[in-house]
Amino acid sequence: MPHYKAPLENIHFVLHDVLKAEQLSHLPGYDQATPDMMTQIFEEGAKMCEEVLFPLNQSGDKQGCVLENGVVRTPQGFKEAYELYRTGGWTSLSSDPAYGGMGMPHLMNFVFMEMICSANMAFGMYPGLSEGAYRALHLHGSDELKQRFLPKLVSGEWTGTMCLTEPHCGTDLGLIRTKASVGENGSWKISGTKIFISAGEHDLAENIIHLVLARLPDAPEGVKGISLFVVPKFLVNDDGSLGARNGVTCGSIEHKMGIKASATCVMNFDDAQGWLVGEAHKGLKAMFTMMNAARLGVGMQGLGIAEVAYQNALIYAKDRLQMRALDGTKAPDKPADPIIVHPDVRRMLLTSKAFCEGGRALSYWVGMHLDISEKHPDPQTRQDADDLVALMTPIVKAYLTDMGFDVANHAIQVYGGHGYIWEWGVEQYARDARIAMIYEGTNGIQALDLVGRKMGQSYGRLLRQFFHPVSDFINVEQSNPAMMEFILPLGKSFAKLQQITGLIAQKGMKDPNEAGAASSDYLRLFALVAMGYMWALMAKAALEKKETTQGELQEFYDSKLHTARFFFERMLPETESRFRMIMAGAAPLMNLKAEGF
């Protein structure tokens, strides 16, 4: 049977020793977000994930969802678990107190999201989509729409979705055909079909609030003619009670490779009553509020899956006996040594460990800046933080999900043949992790976003929010002898990133294919440098803490330093190969005619 224990000690280290997250308690509205309060909330969240959600993960995968008479039945235990989740206040953790939320920092939601995704990624889809719908309505909805829908979304009594994809279009939203026609009393009639709608229909909540992209009758072609509408499953009466069933139905559910307990639906809108969110023809801007939040959330899915896969691989490697160590017997009282003695098993485990701990620091760092971008009293500080979040969003989404899948595969390999068998649990992690590289914009799209939009935006303004602090850190720490083993490789890889950024910008202006051909390798190189920065920060914190601790805590910090060395010596050198791939240019990719494939 698989195992999961929330990594609270590692979480505490990143939040308080590395990022100094207590600074958030000084921002307006976050005065309750003290270290003690964070610890208390995360301990309770860990219990929810370990004791309620995780035990349903395998059974939910086995049972899946069933469509019966237009209603999706979630797996056994999910409805009861969702009620515990909702009444425990977890749906309202970082929501606005004006609508019943707890008003805690987004960073705390990032932490809890990681634990949920480790425990039961499929379950996490239901409240995760609601969070995105809440953010879009909160930022772009009218006061009337906010009052009507947000309190129930925050309480979890209602859930939300985002309805973008249609049978003929995915990423290219300019091709959508769903139409909006004039309805009654300021409403609109929405007609069309959307596919791949996560949590589009289920039995967990009494109402589902769909955010739907559609075209008004006078809409111009392309993305400039898209509007956003809120379309509830059940209409809402003036007193807040539920009214008649709206013209929204689930036509079918998909039978998928993974996240089988999450209902992925074909949704049909037949003159469904909806209300415009924000301005006409400006729906894509409003929807990107939801999508950007979702992309960061998907990054946390990659991290969460990696963490639970690593935990199980580690337990198995310490227990499974196979052969003797290459340098001599390690367990003479046993018929063979545990496989953790073998170099290749250690390579997979250390790669997984280094990613999980570095990815956690990177994602939490971005989450903290999301809070700064919304709450800091200084406008320039808010803008700088917002620029960093925008820059790092495609990196967090793509790199964390790529590596989440890789770590799940490492876990299967550590288990050997048992990893390929359903009963042991780890093959599910690979199946569940695979979708995260695809939805909310494939990882190739994230790379194009980074190179085509973020890199050159405002003459490199976004890039400066990463380049400047990394450069300043290297300049300060290069005079610290204890940090030299980390600073030297970070400085070299950072110089490569700066050099290749300028080259891509120069070549991409002459030929867009040059930027496109470089994009995926550039994102990977950028992510590795960002991880190097995080590991250097963690090494510095570990060195400082090690001087004032002893016993198990000192062993904890020693482990951090060993893992940092592994990252810098065995993972960061990948930047060299990525640099060379980018330097090869577009010709190796683009010169072969289609007929030659």
More confident position, 78 or 290 = 78
- List, for residues 328-344, the tens digit of each pLDDT value: 999 999 999 999 999 99
Task: Say whether 585 sits in a helix, a strand or coil.
Answer: coil
Instruction: Report how far residue 502's alpha carbon sits from residue 518's, in angstroms, rounded to the nearest whole number.
Output: 12
Supply the Cα-derived Rg of the chain in whole angstroms.
24
- List, for residues 352-383, the tens digit of each pLDDT value: 999 999 999 999 999 999 999 999 999 999 99
Residues 250-261, mean pLDDT to the nearest whole number:
97
Buried b (16+ CB within 10 A) or exposed e, 225-258: bbbbbbbbbbbbeeeeeeeeebbbbbeebbebeb
pLDDT at 296: 95
Q: Decide if pLDDT at 290 tops 90.
A: no
Structure-token match 């490779």, residue found? 257
- List, for residues 535-591, the tens digit of each pLDDT value: 999 999 999 999 888 888 999 999 999 999 999 999 999 999 999 999 999 999 999
What's domain 158-283's architecture? Beta Barrel (2.40)
More confident position, 102 or 548 = 102
E strands present in 135-219: 158-163, 179-182, 188-198, 207-214
User: Would you say the pTM of this structure is higher than 0.85?
Assistant: yes
| Cβ pair 433, 401 in contact under 8 A | yes
Q: Does 8-64+72-140 carry CATH code 3.30.930.10?
A: no
- List, for residues 268-279, the tens digit of each pLDDT value: 999 999 999 999
Instruction: Report how far residue 446's alpha carbon sits from residue 464's, in angstroms, rounded to the nearest whole number.
Output: 19
Please say if 440 is a catalytic residue: yes
Which member of 427, 440, 477, 514 is catalytic? 440
Residues 90-100, mean pLDDT to the nearest whole number:
97
Residues 32-55, mean pLDDT to the nearest whole number:
97
